[in-house]
Chains A and B, each alone.
Chain A
Amino acid sequence: MDRLLAGDRAFQHLTLFSLPEARSSIAAEIHDLSAAEVAPEGETEAWSRTDTMAVLAARDALTGAGVHASSLPIDLIVGGTTAGMFETEDLLAKLSNDPSAIKPLNRMISHPLTAPADHVDAALGPFRRVRTVCSACSSGASAVALGAVWLKLGRSERVLAGGADGLCRLTYSGFAALGALSPEPCRPFDRRRSGLSLGEAAAFLLLETEAAARARGAVPLAELRGWAIGSEGHHITNPERDGHTAARVMMQALARGGLTPADIDYVNAHGTATPLNDVMETAAIRRCFGARAAHIPVSTIKGQVGHTLGAAGALEAAVTVLAIHRGAVPPTGGLEEVDPECTLDHVYTARKMPVRAAVSSSFGFGGMDTVLTFAKCETFGPPPDVAQRGVVITGGATVGPLGVYTSAQSLEYLSPGPPPDGGSIAFRAADHLDLTRARRLDRAGRFGTVAIEKALAEAQFTAPSHRTGAILGASFGNVDASTAYMKRIYAKGAKYASPADFPNLLPSSPVGHASIYLGLHGPALAMSDLNVTAETAMTTAIELVAAGEADHLFAGSVEETSPMIERCLGPVCEGIVDRGPRSEGAAVALFESQSAAQERGASILASVAYWTSWRGELTPAIVADLPAAPADAIVLVGRRAASVVNVLKGTSWQRATVYTLSDRAGDHEGAGGFAVIAGAAAVAQKKAGAALIVGKAKNRGYAVLLAPPPVGGESARLL
């Protein structure tokens, strides 16, 4: 923070790799990172630079707060988009020359989006519950927002939330291809700005309930007041020119924290220095703050440390907290002549000033906007209370081997029948989508959009609004397209990187495309958690709806056939071997607040009576408060996992019939989504008195209990 206040800039000639012909050759690099500092001896090959910086930042945050995961229950949320891409991209490109040569390789352990969270857990844990958010450049801020939701719901007392992203050739060449990289160190809001500069970082904040912090005598740095996540639904790379969604999300974040524009003394801007972002953001700040916009100091640290992508939102949140705590606002490096379209009270050199409350904004590809508000402790009264709401399922759909099915039709996946062939499923995009509007959507984007559209139709939901959002997961992101993209760069040079393909490589591309295609303007998030990716997306949706962050959330996951996952990542990261050809598909459920569903007269398929998630082994203690099973209860598992059944032994659930969805719906990481959809349909059609969906993978798991629709205004029916 001292160096930020001093105005130091971190840009230098790139040394990590070279991409001749790439528009730029500078970046804000972290030097002298050594995995040996944090990884167990002999395991450094599996620890990426991103993992290393994540562990270092997370360790500092815990030490600074004076807590240890081994002595206090702490939950962990990590945002990021690249994980171990730098360490694995050349390998991906080489392997793609001969797919038959793809084999399990230890170095690939650092590739998955969950690797940074897993490695922070391994080095500093055990954490009680762990999530990974991969929503492009708003990931870090969304991780903090989700942490706040857990505290509000009373699910956590303490969450370590942050983000980590290392530089890699893929993102560097991709931003270059989009013409978004500045050849010189970037100049946010300046008339002469010509794009962003990339950096790399990890940052974590320890969020704690006030009561828990006071109980252990901790001195808080600042108060996290409000948060909001919204989607522009406009364009995969370009922001809305007039900034109306960003402004609306800023206003929501203020309102969530019980603040008004008059309370805000500092705006920590996204400020990427691209021509489009800075104009849009200025317009958004003016829309949100009105006449006061001219009098609120605004700065961005991207002029000093560059755009750190998935880490940026967390890093900037930390800087905002320190600005409040220290009464000092950092400047915008590189800004000299303000663009007339960006006139605001810009900070050219650090200002010492009291900051009562501040806003930090993050905007990601696909128009995913997240805004956080922080305040000086004990300056404002308590923020408005939001009551926890009941959550119900009102629709669902699957894209699988039997076709594009509603939840009612998806019940067929519980009937006895032959296993599917494996490999690709039959899917004709033209039967379901307007191909003119859907031309930018790749196969995963199409699966996801079609599943949401079908679920929307089943739920007879006609009016998506800014309270309607989506959460889609993909276990390993778009690994095969990333492979093809890198192969091209190695073969032809960075100037032939495809600008159109690059945005589709981001794990958030399916949900971004779906929100644009379908006009969903509420929270949009991408999530990942290996074999239980559908479960992580759906559980997070339940939490956001329960906490009042959205009224209607479509959630599930999307998987494509992939030689790289089937032959390398699956065996190495998930221990999946000898399962035959890995299949593909998508499953999406519509989770609504019970009151929103009742207000629109929706027909409720099932209510969410219980949910939990865990790290480590599933023990009876974790599911101790699971309601008892009614006589005709069923248990649904996505992908085969014997240990689930063992844990239910000795409970009322041991009598329940167990279905394994991958037997009929295909074997892939999204099978858990099919389990939730089929479970909701079984309950709705009274084929089961309750459906318990258990998703279990190596060292992690989720459980969701679906019960018959609530009667009257009750929020959760007791079994």
Chain B
Amino acid sequence: MTIDQVRTELKELIVKELNLEGKSPADIDDAAPLFGAGLGLDSLDALQLAMSVEEKFGVRIPEGDEARKIFASVNALADHIVAVKSAS
């Protein structure tokens, strides 16, 4: 799976799992912060996203400060998924 495919699937996952009705994957900026301002996501969304990323990609998101970096943006999350997948 290329990094572009991972990014596209991630955005589809975000829209579906976090019930972003009225938004399309194309509305999500790959480099923009995922949490706080922007999409208005919070810690409950982070938990849901971590669970669904693990379900879909088989990649676990660690807890705590590490998660903060991984969840920084779609780009950062996609990088993490690709890095873990290629290492295994």
Is the A/B pair a real complex? yes
Binding site for B on A (CB under 8 A): 177-179, 235-238, 429-430, 435-436, 439-440, 492, 495-500, 503
Alpha-carbon distance between A440 and B48 when the two chains are bound, in angstroms: 12
Which one of B20, B45, B48, B55 lies within 8 Å of A492 (CB-CB)? B55
Alpha-carbon distance between A236 and B45 when the two chains are bound, in angstroms: 12
Closest CB in chain A relative to B53 CB, distance in Å: 11
Which B residues from 1 to 35 make CB contacts under 8 A with A? Answer: 17-22
Alpha-carbon distance between A436 and B20 when the two chains are bound, in angstroms: 7
Closest CB in chain B relative to A182 CB, distance in Å: 13
Name A's interface SS: loop
Which residues of chain B are near A497, meaning CB under 8 Å? 51
Which residues of chain A are near B43, meaning CB under 8 Å? 238
Alpha-carbon distance between A177 and B20 when the two chains are bound, in angstroms: 21
Closest A-chain residue to B22, C-beta based? A435
Which one of B18, B22, B45, B47 lies within 8 Å of A178 (CB-CB)? B47
Kindly supply a per-residue 1/0 record for chain B positions 47-73, scoring 1 wherever the CB is within 8 Å of any chain A CB and 0 otherwise.
110010011000000010000000000
Q: Does B44 sit within 8 A of A, measured CB to CB? A: yes
Which one of A435, A436, A439, A496 lies within 8 Å of B51 (CB-CB)? A496
Interface contacts beyond A238-B44, A499-B47, A500-B17: sample of 10 additional A-B pairs, CB < 8 Å, sorted by A: A178-B47, A235-B42, A235-B44, A430-B22, A435-B21, A498-B51, A499-B48, A500-B45, A500-B48, A503-B44
Given contacts A439-B20, A439-B21, A500-B18, contact A236 B44 (CB under 8 A): yes
Alpha-carbon distance between A31 and B67 when the two chains are bound, in angstroms: 39
Q: Does B40 sit within 8 A of A, measured CB to CB? A: yes
Which residues of chain A are near B44, meaning CB under 8 Å? 178, 235-238, 440, 499-500, 503
Which residues of chain B are near A495, meaning CB under 8 Å? 51, 54
Closest CB in chain A relative to B35 CB, distance in Å: 13
Pick 13 A–B contacts, CB within 8 A, sort by A. A235-B44, A238-B42, A238-B44, A429-B21, A430-B21, A439-B19, A439-B20, A492-B55, A496-B55, A498-B48, A499-B44, A499-B47, A500-B47
Which one of B21, B42, B63 lies within 8 Å of A179 (CB-CB)? B63
Closest A-chain residue to B21, C-beta based? A435
Alpha-carbon distance between A496 and B60 when the two chains are bound, in angstroms: 12
Alpha-carbon distance between A435 and B20 when the two chains are bound, in angstroms: 8
Alpha-carbon distance between A237 and B45 when the two chains are bound, in angstroms: 11
Interface residues on B, range: 10 to 19
Listed residue (B17, B51, B54, B63) with the most chain A CB atoms within 10 angstroms of its CB? B51
**Number of residue pairs across A and B with beta carbons under 8 Å?**
47
Listed residue (B22, B40, B47, B63) with the most chain A CB atoms within 10 angstroms of its CB? B47
Closest CB in chain B relative to A529 CB, distance in Å: 31
Alpha-carbon distance between A19 and B42 when the two chains are bound, in angstroms: 27
Whether the Cβ atoms of A177 and B47 lie closer than 8 Å is yes
Alpha-carbon distance between A499 and B61 when the two chains are bound, in angstroms: 15
Given contacts A238-B43, A436-B40, contact A177 B18 (CB under 8 A): no
Smallest CB-CB A-B distances: 4 pairs: A499-B47, A500-B48, A439-B19, A435-B21
Which residues of chain A are near B47, meaning CB under 8 Å? 177-179, 499-500
Given contacts A435-B21, A435-B22, A439-B20, contact A177 B42 (CB under 8 A): no
Whether the Cβ atoms of A439 and B18 lie closer than 8 Å is yes
Binding site for A on B (CB under 8 A): 17-22, 40, 42-45, 47-48, 51, 54-55, 63
Alpha-carbon distance between A499 and B45 when the two chains are bound, in angstroms: 8
Alpha-carbon distance between A496 and B55 when the two chains are bound, in angstroms: 7
Which residues of chain B are near A429, meaning CB under 8 Å? 21
Listed residue (A429, A436, A500) with the most chain B CB atoms within 10 angstroms of its CB? A500
Whether the Cβ atoms of A440 and B19 lie closer than 8 Å is yes
Alpha-carbon distance between A439 and B15 when the two chains are bound, in angstroms: 11
Which residues of chain B are near A436, meaning CB under 8 Å? 22, 40
Which residues of chain B are near A179, meaning CB under 8 Å? 47, 63
Closest CB in chain B relative to A478 CB, distance in Å: 16
Closest A-chain residue to B60, C-beta based? A495
Alpha-carbon distance between A499 and B50 when the two chains are bound, in angstroms: 10
Alpha-carbon distance between A237 and B44 when the two chains are bound, in angstroms: 8
Closest CB in chain B relative to A681 CB, distance in Å: 33
Closest CB in chain A relative to B40 CB, distance in Å: 7
Alpha-carbon distance between A238 and B44 when the two chains are bound, in angstroms: 9
Closest B-chain residue to A439, C-beta based? B19
Alpha-carbon distance between A178 and B47 when the two chains are bound, in angstroms: 7
Listed residue (B17, B19, B40, B44) with the most chain A CB atoms within 10 angstroms of its CB? B44
Listed residue (A178, A429, A498, A499) with the most chain B CB atoms within 10 angstroms of its CB? A499
Closest A-chain residue to B19, C-beta based? A439
Which residues of chain A are near B48, meaning CB under 8 Å? 498-500
Alpha-carbon distance between A499 and B43 when the two chains are bound, in angstroms: 10
Closest B-chain residue to A435, C-beta based? B21
Which residues of chain A are near B51, meaning CB under 8 Å? 177, 495-499
Closest CB in chain B relative to A523 CB, distance in Å: 24
Closest A-chain residue to B40, C-beta based? A436
Alpha-carbon distance between A503 and B22 when the two chains are bound, in angstroms: 23
Closest CB in chain A relative to B60 CB, distance in Å: 9
Which residues of chain A are near B42, meaning CB under 8 Å? 235, 238
Alpha-carbon distance between A178 and B43 when the two chains are bound, in angstroms: 9
Alpha-carbon distance between A647 and B81 when the two chains are bound, in angstroms: 69
Closest CB in chain A relative to B49 CB, distance in Å: 9
Closest CB in chain A relative to B65 CB, distance in Å: 14
Closest B-chain residue to A179, C-beta based? B47
Closest CB in chain A relative to B14 CB, distance in Å: 12
Closest A-chain residue to B44, C-beta based? A237
Alpha-carbon distance between A497 and B47 when the two chains are bound, in angstroms: 11
Listed residue (B18, B20, B43) with the most chain A CB atoms within 10 angstroms of its CB? B43
Closest CB in chain B relative to A438 CB, distance in Å: 8
Alpha-carbon distance between A516 and B69 when the two chains are bound, in angstroms: 30
Which residues of chain A are near B19, meaning CB under 8 Å? 439-440, 500
Closest CB in chain B relative to A437 CB, distance in Å: 9
Closest B-chain residue to A499, C-beta based? B47
Which residues of chain B are near A500, meaning CB under 8 Å? 17-19, 44-45, 47-48
Closest B-chain residue to A236, C-beta based? B44
Closest B-chain residue to A488, C-beta based? B55
Closest CB in chain B relative to A696 CB, distance in Å: 39
Alpha-carbon distance between A436 and B51 when the two chains are bound, in angstroms: 22
